[in-house]
Structure 1
Amino acid sequence: MAENRASVYAEGVPCWVDAQLPDLAAGRRFYGELFGWTFDEVTPASESTVWGCKDGSPVAGLTYKADGRMPTVWTLYFATPDAQRLCGRIIAVGGQVVTPPEPVGDLGTAALAADPDGAVFGLWQTRRHRGFGRRHETGTFVWAELYTRDTEAANAFYGGLFHDALFGPDAEPDFGRAPVSDVFPAEMPPHFLVHFRVADCAAALGAVQRLGGRVQAPVFEASYGRVAVVTDNQGASFALLER
C-alpha cells in the first residue's frame, strides 16, 4: 500500500472522495484508463475497497456496493478532527446524520450527513489515512460543486459549519454552490458533484464514451474552468474540469 504523506486537512476542507460501485473490477478498468490511476488494496485481505493512486499517492476510493438499493455515486468527504461533535453541530443547524460516525479499521472514522436541502456528504476523521495524497493535479480531485435549490441557505449552512475553510484568511475553497437548474433539470435532487482535473476536456469526454460512460452535460464555461458532466460505465456521475 502506498504511504500517504499528505498533511492533515483542516476542518471543512474536502479531503477525500469515493465511489460506491456494483462492479469493482469494471471501475478499476474505467478509472485506470481514464485517469491513469493504479490501485492499492486498502488492506491485504480486502476485496471490497481499493484506492486509486497517482504516482504512488492515494487520490480516490472505489468501494464495492453490495446492496443494490443504494445509489451508485461519488461521495465528497470533509475533514474534521471530531466527527461525533460535528454531527451534533450539523443536527443543531438543521441538517441530519445519515450514517453515524463509525471506525474504518485503523484508517479513521467516517460518517454521512445531509444538509437541510437533502444533499449528502461525508465526514472523515483521520487516523492512518489522512485523505488525498495528491489533489488539484491532472487525474485527481480539483473541485466539488453543490447543486442546490437555495444557494443562500447553503451558504449559511456550510458557512456556519466550515467558516474558516470557506472564508478565513487562509481559505482556499475547493467547492462552490450553484442552483440545480444551472446544469440539471429542476427535478434533480440537490447533490455534490465531484470534479476531476483533465488536461483537455473534449479529449477526456471522448475517452469516457469509448470506455462505456455517457455525457450528461457537454462542455460549458464555469467561473472556475471548462466543465463537462459525465457518468461512468456504472452510472456514477462526476465532472471533468479543464483549467
Structure 2
Amino acid sequence: MKTRNVNVFYSGVQAIMDVSLDLGAKQVLALIGPSGCGKSTFLRCLNRMNDTVLGCEVQGSLSLDGVDISALEPEELRARVGMVFQKPNPFPKSIYDNIAYGPKLHGLVESKTELDEVVEASLRKAGLWEEVCTRLHVPATGLSGGQQQRLCIARAISISPEVILMDEPCSALDPIATSVIEALIMELKENYTIGIVTHSMSQAKRVSDRTAYFHLGKLIEVNPTEEMFEQPQHHLTQGYLKGRFG
C-alpha cells in the first residue's frame, strides 16, 4: 500500500498532517509514538474505517496495488485489507460461525465442504486449530482472551486479504498470550503485508521489519527497525526511544 500527503480532520481539527508512508509487500510495519499521536487514526485510513466516524475527513492519496482505495467499495476494500482490533471482538456466535461468516458473505465458497476447509485452514494459520477442533460449535466468547484474539486473526485471514492491520492487538493480553501472537505475526508475514500499531517498543523491535515514529500527527521518521532503534535520525525519535516523553 502507498499513501501520499495524507491529512485527517475531525470536525475541522487536524489530527494527521501530510503523512506519506508505504507498507511493503510481506513485511511488518510498526507504528509507534505517544498516545494521541495519530498512529491509530492513520492505520484506520488504510481500510477506510474513518469513513464511519462522523465529522472525519481524509485527504490525500491512498492506494492498494496501484488502485486508489476511494475507487473501491468499502466492502471490497475491507475484504482485501483486514483489521484486528485492540480488544478481541468475536461475534456472539460459535467458533465455526465466526470464521465461516466472511467467506459466506463474500461468496468465496460454494459448498459446506469448501467452507469446512476454509475454517480449518484459517484456524490452523492462526495456531488455534488444535485447541478448538473438538469444540467448533461452542460460543467463541468462552475462549480465553489470547484465544479470542487469535480467532479474530483467523477470521481476518478467512477471506484471503492482502493486508492485515492490527491496532495494539496485544494490549489486553498477558505476556504468554502476547508471545503467541507475536510468533503468529512472524509466520503470517510470509504471506501477508502487516501494519501494527503498538505502544511496546520491545514488541516493535521483535516483530517488525520497518518502524515509523509519529508525533503530534506528523510522521517524524521511518526506517528499517534495527536502524531506527540503534541509530534514530531525528531528535524527537531519540527522545521517545530513550523515554524522555510519551
Which structure is higher in RCO with an 8 Å CA cutoff and minimum separation 6? Answer: 2
Larger strand proportion, structure 1 or 2? 1
TM > 0.5: no
Determine which structure has more spread, i.e. the larger CA radius of gyration: 2
Normalising by structure 1, report the TM-score: 0.30
Larger helix proportion, structure 1 or 2? 2
Normalising by structure 2, report the TM-score: 0.30
